[in-house]
Amino acid sequence: MKRLIFGLVALGLLATTEGAQAQSKKKSSGSGAGYETAIGLRGGGWSSGLTFKHFLSGKNNVAFEGLLTREYQARGGRLTLLLEKHLPVSDFKGLQFYYGAGGHVGVYNGRYYVLDGRFVRGRKRDFYYTYYREDRNYIVGGADLILGLEYKMEDLPFTIGVDYKPFFEVFDGYTGFYNDAAVSLRFAF
């Protein structure tokens, strides 16, 4: 984890010096968001981790976003790929509304089961709980939607965003629908 943070800080410092030299050239990006590529951190309820966003060529404001996130409760991780359409908010320079869809794959490790003795034997005096834990990996896959707001700071190479990302997933014969909201901070270059 320390190596990852050190790498992100080093990358940020390199990109900051490059951005400081390039600010005098008035280079315009191909997107209406004010940047082409950004990398940063995402903190959310179900998925927190790294985020990477890149606007596709052309002036259609379509971006590709990749999330490499950690699932703490299920002890695993996910790779999420999203395609997003960005729309400028008319009265606020640098603010963009976006929506999109995509999918994810991941691996979870282990689940916990609870066996309640009251229902196994049917007598009140046989009251006990037994916990079981499986130690094996589960492959997961699912579909994601995303809605969000993102603000590109005018004089700084940073973006900050909030999003709502509900997702549906299937793992080992089980299905689940989850609501996830997050805050993202990205370095734009």
What is the C-alpha to C-alpha distance for residues 87 and 106, in angstroms, rounded to an integer?
A: 30
49-101: per-residue pLDDT in tens?
999 999 998 778 999 999 999 887 778 899 999 999 999 998 888 899 999 99
Is pLDDT of 118 > 60?
Answer: no
Quick one: tokens of 179?
């609501």
What is the C-alpha to C-alpha distance for residues 178 and 167, in angstroms, rounded to an integer?
A: 5
Quick one: tokens of 116?
């309640």
pLDDT for res 20: 46
pLDDT for res 90: 83
pLDDT for res 117: 55
pLDDT for res 138: 85
Over pLDDT 70: what percentage of the chain?
A: 69
Is pLDDT of 140 > 80?
Answer: yes
27-61: per-residue pLDDT in tens?
445 566 788 999 999 998 888 999 999 999 877 89
1-25: per-residue pLDDT in tens?
555 555 555 555 555 544 444 443 3
The arrangement of secondary structure in 2-188, i.e. its CATH architecture, is Beta Barrel (2.40)
Which residues, 6+ apart, have CB-to-CB distance to 47 below 8 Å?
67, 69, 70, 71, 78, 80, 165, 180, 182
pTM: 0.71
What is the C-alpha to C-alpha distance for residues 29 and 182, in angstroms, rounded to an integer?
A: 26
Question: What one-character-per-residue DSSP string does 19-77 give?
Answer: HHHHGGGTPPPSSTTS-SEEEEEEEESS-EEEEEEEEPSSSS-EEEEEEEEEETTTTEE
